[in-house]
Every structure is written in structure tokens, then in C-alpha cells.
A = this chain, B = another copy of it.
Amino acid sequence: MQMKTGVEQSVYAILILNMLPDKAVLPGEAISQQLGASPTYFQKLLRKLVSANLITSVPGVKGGFKLRKKAEDIRIYDIYLAIEGQQSLYSSSGVMHGMLDLEEEGCCLLTDLMQEAESSWQTVLKRQTIASLYEEINVGYQPKVQLLQQWIKEKMVM
């Protein structure tokens, strides 16, 4: 039970896109290179982010990706959801059904508990946004962020 690495990559990808000037766009391959991710698979992840309306894509020669929402409106949870899908962490196999010979469903006590735990988990991931995460990184690693900004200026297209 491990979160997909795609979630981490996506978060940092969006963090990069957040540093992009308005109207500018960054090619997927540049991003995947910066993250050290496999370019082809990373495109698939970007597609999921597009489907989730977190970023937009521009095809064609000066194409690429950019944010669709404001950084304040992108919660870490949204990114998680885009990549991992909406299925819950726990899904009952109906063990209790067979055990107690129940006809109807909607019973599983464990499901209730697990759902509550997951909600509690989600709450934390809904608190932090790309904006707040960027804030933290910026105060903690400003010089490095400058370099990243520089790199973005080189790779972006308008």
C-alpha cells in the first residue's frame, strides 16, 4: 500500500508550472527532464492533470502546459485525486457477508471505520495548496528557487 510516485512528480510539476509567467507554457519533455521522470510515462500523468482541470495543454509548435487554476485553488488532495483516482483506500471484499451470511450490503463496519480514517487523511491534504507549498519552499530554499526560475525562463515558450 504505497502511493504512486506519480503523485510526487505531479506535485512538483505543478509547482514548476506555478513559477511560469502568465501566458507562457512549458513543454512536457522539459518538465519530465527537470524531475528526472520517464518522459513518455510522465506525459500520461500530465494528461490526468489536464483531465482533472488542474492544468491546460497547448498543442502545436509553441505548445506545452500551464496552470489552469490559481495556485491557491489547487489543493494537494486535488493532485492526489487526479493521479490516483477516486477509489477509496479500503474496499471491502464482502468477507463479513460470507461470514454472517447476509443478503443485503451497506453493512460492513470496517468500511465505515476505514472511510472515517480516510476522510481524516483527506482533510490534511485539503488544507495545503500549491500556493502554501510554494510559499514554504520559497522561504526555505530561496537561492535554489532562483536557479529554478532561471531554468524556467530558458525552457518556457510564449
Contact = CB atoms under 8 A, between A and B. Distances in A.
A95 interface: yes
Nearest to A12: B95
A3 B89 contact: yes
Contacts of A89: 1-3
Nearest to A143: B100
B110 A11 contact: yes
A113 interface: yes
Contact of A147 (B90, B96, B101, B109): B101
Given A99-B12, A109-B136, A2 B1 contact: yes
A137 interface: yes
A46 to B, nearest CB: 15
Nearest to A97: B36
Contact of A110 (B8, B37, B121): B8
A124 interface: yes
Nearest to A7: B90
Contacts of A110: 8, 11, 76, 133
A91 interface: yes
13 contacts: A9-B93, A9-B95, A12-B99, A37-B95, A100-B141, A100-B147, A102-B144, A109-B133, A109-B140, A113-B128, A117-B122, A120-B120, A120-B124
